[in-house]
Amino acid sequence: LYNLYINYSNARKTGLKIVFSPLDPHSLLWQIGGPAMIPLLKKLPRSMTRWCRLVDMGWSWQSDDDGYRELGLNIILVCTRRNVLFSSDPESILWILQKRKDFIKPEVYESLNIYGRNVDTVNGEEWARHRKLTAPCFNERVSGFVWDESIRQANTMRDHWLSLPAGRLSNLVEDTRIVALHVLSAAGFGVSLDFHKGAREPAQGHSMSHRDALMTVLDNIIPAVIISEMPWAKPLLLGTMKRLSVALSEFRQYMDEMVVQERRNMAKEGGGSKANLISTLIRTSDDAKAEGVNSAVRLTDDEIKGNIFIFNLAGHDTTANTLAYAFAMLALYPEIQDWIMEEITTVLGSESHPEYEKAYPRLKRIQALMYETLRFYGPVPTIPRGVSAPSLPLRISSSSQDNNDPSTLIIPPNTSIQMSLHACHMNPTLYPSPKLFNPSRWIESPSSSSSLDEEVLLPHPLGFQPWSLGPRICPGMKFAQVEFAAVMATVLRKVRVAPASKSEGAGARQAWEEVYGAARDSKLNGPTLSMNRPADLYLRVEER
């Protein structure tokens, strides 16, 4: 009670709306017991469950963060352990994300250093070094490679969809995950996989294939973190956990071998490097070493592996789920599908493998579709931050406080931060009719012209940050955009998607409701927003 009193006194000084929470959202009790408590809490009156509607990421997402509309853009949750400042204020989010030295990645990120420290998990000067040395991995050469590989994978996925009995597609989410994994394997390691077979055979000296090892780790990231932190427990593991432990070591061995092999190739080819991420990282680091740069501005081999792993983790479900949600939305809204198709026909014509440089910049409606999908189903709905010093200032929109006046407040000591990107994306002041799925809101076309080439894709406004903002903005943004555009264009030019029902013979209305319901029934599963019942989402696929 004493802690609660101190935290409450501190919170009051901000003038923000206060919500008391009996549990700290980061406590073990909530992490373990939360999911079981939610159904019971949902039965209680609204006024008693305000705290829980903020703390529970599923509940807050499904209600489009209505807590913010009730209480204001910035809210303080007062708990016994510490206060949590929840923000959906575009001004505050911009302020926080621009000041990487003041607002730092919390310690919990460190658990993702499974294979080595990396750009996603570190702070300060160490982050600046990682960011500088990993930046060349996301150059235009890699984008061209991502484009080609995405078309190759999407061609096979589309042909597979067209071969399904009665065109009933039940594996949309799994299929987009395979495409995203294979694009990452090709771009990350230069390992090109077949959509169907996916190289299931283990390489010599291995008990698992490269793909299976990576997929097993990515699918079970939270248990993988726990196993990595308790190496002594490995001999005691059984069943799925044992397989996961094997996958962790197998993937490490694959990366070790790739680093050795890449160095050999580079030596043989006179230093020429391929357009994949691992060779770019090795080359950038080895060049720095050869130039006599001291170790403070190079990456160690463990850090190279740490970064490659994090690219796979950060780039897999994010891109795959965005594709899956977008296909579901296109099935629900046929008029949007026609609008997208008009662009594909104009840009691609009859070309089955268009050139990246010529086609990609012209696919503006597809980018608009991606933006709108991310506004609704952004894979990163919230971003946490810690503070590097007590009592930092924070800029707030005047409307986010009762007494309109001050535009800066002081964050009380012992406060962590949770930014809700999703609440910001659903703000009616920023997005008129926010619950209307309308990709054309991102396109401006001059009234005098009917040419699609005259259309302009609007820049990201303040309040649109699915890839974050500021110095730590997602480095894989272009990678994901190029992959999304290539997959959408390749599939849709030959295929039309429509909603289907799980039960054969159901009417069109039921099919529509089921697809809509499966997409809306989403929450943070692991680090990424994803559907709770992906197997309930059925689409009908027809050849154009």
196: nearest Cα among 161, 232, 169, 168: 161
Helix H or strand E segment including 222:
helix 221-229
Distances (CA, A) of 342 to 155, 258, 350, 371: 20, 43, 13, 18
Q: Are 64 and 422 contacting, i.e. CB atoms less than 8 angstroms apart?
A: yes
**Of 315-323, 330-338, 360-368, 505-513, which segment contacts ligand HEM by CB under 6 A?**
315-323
Give per-residue burial for 239-267: e unless 16+ CB within 10 Å, then b: eebebbbbbbebbbbbbeebbeebeeebe
99: nearest Cα among 470, 475, 474, 473: 470
| Minimum CB distance to ligand HEM smaller for 216 or for 465 | 465
Query: What value, to the nearest 5°, has the Cα angle with vertex 289 and ends 287 and 290?
Result: 65
Q: How many Å apart are CA 88 and CA 465, to the nearest integer?
A: 11
Altogether, the residues listed in the chain come to a count of 544
Q: Which residue is nearest to ligand HEM (CB)?
A: 476
| Minimum CB distance to ligand HEM smaller for 52 or for 112 | 112
Q: For residue 203, give the DSSP letter.
A: P
Q: How many Å apart are CA 479 and CA 476, to the nearest integer?
A: 5
* Contact status: 479 vs ligand HEM (CB under 6 A): yes
The residue within the footprint of ligand HEM, chosen from 131, 234, 353, 540 (CB under 6 A), is 131
Q: Count interface residues toward ligand HEM (CB under 6 A).
A: 24
Binding mask 142-171 for ligand HEM (x = CB under 6 A): ------------------------------
The residue within the footprint of ligand HEM, chosen from 79, 218, 314, 366 (CB under 6 A), is 314
- 137 annotated ligand binder: no
Residues sharing a CB contact under 8 Å with residue 449, sequence separation 6 or more, in sequence order: none
The residue within the footprint of ligand HEM, chosen from 49, 171, 322, 420 (CB under 6 A), is 322
| Minimum CB distance to ligand HEM smaller for 79 or for 277 | 277
Binding mask 438-467 for ligand HEM (x = CB under 6 A): ----------------------------xx
**Of 77-85, 379-387, 400-408, 487-495, which segment contacts ligand HEM by CB under 6 A?**
379-387
Kindly state the tokens that stand for 382. Answer: 């919230």
Instruction: Tell me, letter by letter, the H, E, C secondary structure of 390-416.
Output: CCCEEECCHHHCCCCCCCEEECCCCEE
The residue within the footprint of ligand HEM, chosen from 11, 75, 119, 275 (CB under 6 A), is 119
| Minimum CB distance to ligand HEM smaller for 54 or for 380 | 380
* Contact status: 425 vs ligand HEM (CB under 6 A): no
* Contact status: 485 vs ligand HEM (CB under 6 A): no
* Contact status: 418 vs ligand HEM (CB under 6 A): no
* Contact status: 250 vs ligand HEM (CB under 6 A): no
Least distance (Å) between residue 163 CB and ligand HEM: 28
* Contact status: 141 vs ligand HEM (CB under 6 A): no
CB 346: neighbour CB atoms within 10 A?
14
Binding mask 69-108 for ligand HEM (x = CB under 6 A): ----------------------------------------
Give alpha helix (H) positions in 433-501. 477-492
Q: How many Å apart are CA 507 and CA 505, to the nearest integer?
A: 7
Residues sharing a CB contact under 8 Å with residue 403, sequence separation 6 or more, in sequence order: 15
| Minimum CB distance to ligand HEM smaller for 51 or for 251 | 251
20: nearest Cα among 59, 60, 49: 49
* Contact status: 472 vs ligand HEM (CB under 6 A): yes
| Minimum CB distance to ligand HEM smaller for 17 or for 472 | 472
* Contact status: 475 vs ligand HEM (CB under 6 A): yes
Distances (CA, A) of 177 to 313, 314, 324, 375: 12, 13, 9, 20
| Minimum CB distance to ligand HEM smaller for 406 or for 461 | 461
| Residue given tokens 């230069």 in the structure block | 190
| Minimum CB distance to ligand HEM smaller for 52 or for 304 | 304
Least distance (Å) between residue 466 CB and ligand HEM: 5
The residue within the footprint of ligand HEM, chosen from 330, 394, 417, 474 (CB under 6 A), is 474
Q: How many Å apart are CA 173 and CA 56, to the nearest integer?
A: 24
* Contact status: 114 vs ligand HEM (CB under 6 A): no
| Minimum CB distance to ligand HEM smaller for 311 or for 538 | 311
Pair type for strands 415-420 and 83-87: parallel
The residue within the footprint of ligand HEM, chosen from 419, 480, 492, 529 (CB under 6 A), is 480
Sign of the CA dihedral running 293, 296, 302, 304: negative
| Minimum CB distance to ligand HEM smaller for 83 or for 150 | 150
Considering only residues 349 to 368 of the shown chain, the ones binding ligand HEM according to CB under 6 A are none
Site of interaction with ligand HEM (CB under 6 A)? 119-120, 131, 310-311, 314-315, 318-319, 322, 374, 378-380, 383, 466-468, 472, 474-476, 479-480
Please enumerate, by residue number, every residue annotated as part of a binding site for heme: 474
Please enumerate, by residue number, every residue annotated as part of a binding site: 474
